[in-house]
Amino acid sequence: MRIRRTVGPFDVAGLSLGCMNLSHAYGTPPDRATAERVLLTALDRGVDFFDTAALYGFGANESLIGPILKPYRDRIVLASKCGMTGVDGKRVIDGRPETIKRTADEALARLGTEVIDLYYLHRLDKQVPIEDSTGALADLVKAGKIRTIGLSEVSAATIRRAHSVHPVAAVQSEYSLWTRNPEIAVLETCRELGAALVAFSPLARGFLTGTLTDPASQLEDKDIRRQMPRFDVAHYRQNLGLLPGFFAIAKEIGCTPAQLALTWVLAKADHIVALFGTKSTGHLEENLGADSVTLGPDVIARLDRLINPSTVSGARYNPATQSEIDTEEFHTGGNHRG
């Protein structure tokens, strides 16, 4: 029996699938046949919450997963995102109401569905009041085009402002042992408002799996991690020093490092969904095995002491990308910047 979590009116698997890297961001995407195997294997193993976005492959990801999952539409909760899309081959943040509504119509067509279960504002457009963007999402709910609304990579203050316009069902933010920003205020705000925290990159973008030992040689030129300071040679070399202790705890518990990372995320609060991505059915099966792992408070405390904002080296994003992010940031005396 899979761990279950609540997202708005939906009951979903706590371990759910982010579909981004089937089309976008982490090097060369898999071919369609491989992507289909990943999606249908996830479905077969009890995953019923699938996450995509207009940005991913500039529409390609929605076009990929829509037809594959359409025969099973009544069995899944389907999430997508607006407010950050591809325009003339470039990523553009645009939270204007008219753009949100147009993007929703385009997403519905690509996904081949009459309604999107959860529709997020992918990024806060700092030129548009959050109340205006949320109002557009609320209009889409009234029109029956989406069922619930969400926000991504935003602060507690922004969540509260949006929630005053329309209930927020979920907030998606990066959350893992090495990215703790939601712990500042967002995690508690979500709990207070009855929203789920959908934790993306719970495996620390591959770092916690131990498979990425040399980003300089292992990452393709277009891999987004090449633009992230933590993956720079000097920072990454220092971060690798955290892994032996982490691996030792995984061995002690009797699970893989990936399963330990996912279990830690789910153990932090019962309103968290761990949203992982993979191109491999093997890794998919391994990750879903986290359902059978249990961590005691002492183990969680040891993990917290080992990998945290004071022990991780390097900022999460480069300055240009960070300027687009609305989340609260840590300011510590340790190695972490940002």
What are the catalytic residues?
56
Q: What are phi and psi of 116, to 5 degrees?
A: -100, 130
CA 229 centroid distance within chain = 19
Neighbours of 184 (CB within 10 A): 16
Query: 103 with 54: CB under 8 angstroms?
Result: yes
Select from 205, 203, 224 the least CA-distant residue to 25.
224
Residues 6 or more apart in contact with residue 75 via CB below 8 angstroms: 43, 48
| DSSP character string of 76-101 | -EEEEEESEEEETTEEEE---HHHHH
What's the rounded Cα separation, in Å, for the pair 245 and 249? 6
Distance CA 168, CA 194 (A): 8
Q: Which residues of 186-220 are buried (b: 16+ CB within 10 A; e: fewer)?
A: bbebbeebebbbbbbbbbbbbbbbbebeebeeebe
DSSP 243-254: HHHHHHHHHHHT
